[in-house]
């Protein structure tokens, strides 16, 4: 059972994820519950769905029908993205997305590393033949324009990190964003302006009906010629065929991609062998059990106390 201090409500918590995740999370969650002042019976299997109050949920767990969970009070997503669950009509309770300090720091490190890699043209040194002395003077960060599409918790954190390194950063969000230390665009006109001034464009938007194939041939053509595209967000944000055409023409100089429409990326996909594409295996924003468990425990405590959830998903907006 799970009880908030000074409260009489007890909760049952179901961990619904792939089997190998259970030993990774069990001890971390139990420790986090203890630290948050809640005592829980945490299980990964249950005979009677009606006894479950909270589900800690990974969208690839195989659980799709929430109807039998008649006393369910909340679903706590293990992933930052909720596109695989947000439209599930059987889910009729509050849904929280994962905002994990470890996940955020991992994203900052991935984005910063690859921005610096392309900014300093490190690939030229890595692939340089012996004896080929390619002397050059790299730009300073202040001369490199970086655009961040998406100014949620991840995008804003990455923008802040890049600003601290001196990059000429600007961001874009669906609606106006209060960012006093870098230009922030919004709306359709703002999207065009942001893309046009991005030597390096970083995609950190959620995948929704409005953002699917957002980076298509028309928008790729708005980039400065030879610009770099980084996509640690969602594979469906990019029209793959349009990106390959832009790479072939030189309109896009390089694409470093961490997320894809189909994962793992099929071995015969042209991204694997294209000389101007770097593939990383969806590692930019991994959820870390230790830090994620503390976020989950706080939301379980809030359920027990009848308090609002952290990081509540707006089902209408899709994130």
Pick the closest to residue 275 from 256, 251, 259, 260 (CA basis): 256
Beta 145-149 vs 200-203: how paired, if at all? parallel
Q: Which two tokens stand for residue 73?
A: 């009070």
Pick the closest to residue 296 from 8, 35, 6 (CA basis): 35
Instruction: Please compute Rg for the chain using Cα positions.
Output: 22
Coil, strand or helix at 54: strand
How far apart (Å, rounded) are the C-alpha atoms in residues 52 and 29? 17
Pick the closest to residue 61 from 79, 86, 73, 87 (CA basis): 79
Q: Which residues contact 59 (CB under 8 A, 6 or more apart)?
A: 77, 79, 82, 84, 85
> Which of the residues are catalytic?
234, 282
Strand partners, 238: 215
């Amino acid at each position: 059972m799970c009880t908030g201090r000074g409260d009489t409500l007890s909760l049952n918590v179901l961990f619904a994820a792939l089997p190998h995740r259970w030993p990774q999370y069990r001890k971390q969650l139990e420790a986090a519950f203890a630290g948050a002042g809640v005592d829980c019976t945490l299980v990964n299997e249950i005979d009677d769905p009606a006894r479950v109050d909270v589900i800690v949920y990974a969208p690839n767990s195989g659980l799709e029908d929430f109807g039998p969970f008649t006393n369910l009070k909340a679903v706590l997503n293990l992933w930052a993205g909720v596109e695989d669950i947000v439209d599930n009509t059987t889910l009729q309770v509050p849904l929280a997305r994962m905002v994990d300090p470890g996940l955020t720091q991992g994203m900052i490190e991935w984005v910063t590393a690859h921005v610096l890699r392309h900014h300093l043209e490190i690939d030229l040194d890595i692939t340089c033949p012996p004896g080929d002395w390619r002397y050059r003077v790299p730009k300073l960060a202040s001369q490199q324009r970086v655009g961040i599409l998406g100014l949620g918790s991840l995008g804003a954190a990455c923008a802040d990190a890049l600003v601290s390194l001196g990059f000429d950063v600007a961001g874009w969000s669906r609606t106006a964003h209060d960012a006093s230390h870098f230009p922030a665009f919004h709306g359709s006109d703002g999207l065009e302006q942001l893309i046009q001034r991005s030597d390096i464009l970083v995609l950190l938007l959620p995948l929704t009906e409005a953002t699917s194939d957002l980076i298509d041939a028309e928008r790729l053509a708005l980039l400065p010629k030879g610009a770099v595209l980084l996509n640690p967000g969602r594979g469906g944000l990019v029209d793959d065929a349009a990106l390959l055409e832009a790479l072939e023409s030189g309109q896009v100089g390089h694409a470093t991609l961490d997320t894809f429409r189909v994962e793992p990326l099929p071995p015969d996909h042209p991204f694997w062998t294209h000389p101007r594409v770097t593939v990383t295996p969806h590692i930019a924003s991994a959820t870390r059990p230790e830090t994620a468990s503390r976020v989950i425990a706080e939301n379980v405590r809030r359920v027990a106390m009848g308090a609002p959830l952290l990081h509540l998903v707006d089902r209408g907006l899709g994130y």
